[in-house]
Amino acid sequence: MTTPITRDGHFDLGGDLRISRMGFGAMRLPASTRGGAPNDRDTSLEVLRRAVELGADHIDTAAFYFHPSGLAANEMIRSALSPYPDGLVIATKVGPYRAPDEPYPSGQLPASGLRAEVERNLRELGRDSLDLVYLRPGGLETPLDEPIGERFEVLAGLREEGLIRHLGLSHVSAAQLAEARAIAPVAAVQNRFDITRPADTELLAICERDGIGYAPYFPLGGFGIPDDDRVKAVAARHGATVPQVLLAGLLALSPVMLAIPGTGSPAHVEENMAAARLELTAADLAELRA
């Protein structure tokens, strides 16, 4: 399959949704740190609007992205951007269970609970259908060896009903990707990956071969910016920041890579979106991959 990447830095998600390869992740809109204080709502709305103004037409969210105080990513996306501009693609995730007072998800929804979670995302976002829904079958520390067919079949059925346009998988193995693809097409994968932690190369290679989008979560390292001398050296040569080199390096690594950095800071959204214009040299990339 021909990789659906255009010359102008876009990707054809699922073959029919053209998006910029630099998008925006909504996880940090309610709070900038896990378990931390809530962000200022007006500032988060400003960040969302500015990200779209700067070219982000792919927003990644989830109904379980909320703060116990009541701030929720889906509600803020709807408030800031609805009525949604033409061409804006919103991706969400289902699978994890999070109680209202929990700092992060603590369990998994059964297959029977996935329809209700999809409908919750539809209500919160004010959409009649969802552009992309990832099944996330496990948490960060959950082994990637359990069958996912029963849960993926539920989402495939919702796709047939027209509630979902494209299906994706998050935090999965190559075997789970193959299991899902035997049921329905998979348009995107979302696994942990950054330039300093390129541990998912097998699955990335499959995505490249078959034209599947690869949207790494934690593209900036996740729990703090990586302290990496290679990245610092490249940043110094370009007069760029370390986060910009981490993002530009991802985009240069593969034509199916879709960066979705998240932030609750207006300054950081400007910095992140500018990384799409940073052109790394062959020498830079060799150094980053050494």
Q: What are phi and psi of 90, to 5 degrees?
A: -115, 125
Structure tokens at 91: 């991706």
Q: At what angle do helices 174-181 and 201-210 cross, to 10 degrees?
A: 30
DSSP annotation of 27 reads T
| Cβ contacts of 215 within 8 Å, gap of 6 or more | 23, 60, 91, 188, 189, 190, 257, 258, 259, 260
- CA gap 21, 86 in Å, rounded: 17
Name the DSSP letter for residue 276. Answer: G
The yes-or-no answer on residue 104 being catalytic is no
CA distance 180 to 210: 14
**Distance between CA 63 and CA 78 in Å, rounded?**
12
Query: Of the listed 65, 134, 214, 217, which one is catalytic?
Result: 65
Residue 92: left if φ>0, alpha if ψ -120 to 50, beta else—which one? beta
253, 18 contact by CB (below 8 A): no
Alpha carbons within 13 A on the beta-carbon side of 24: 31
Phi-psi region of 224 (alpha: psi -120 to 50; beta: other; left: phi over 0): left
CA separation for the pair 8, 166 (Å, rounded): 23
Active site residues: 65
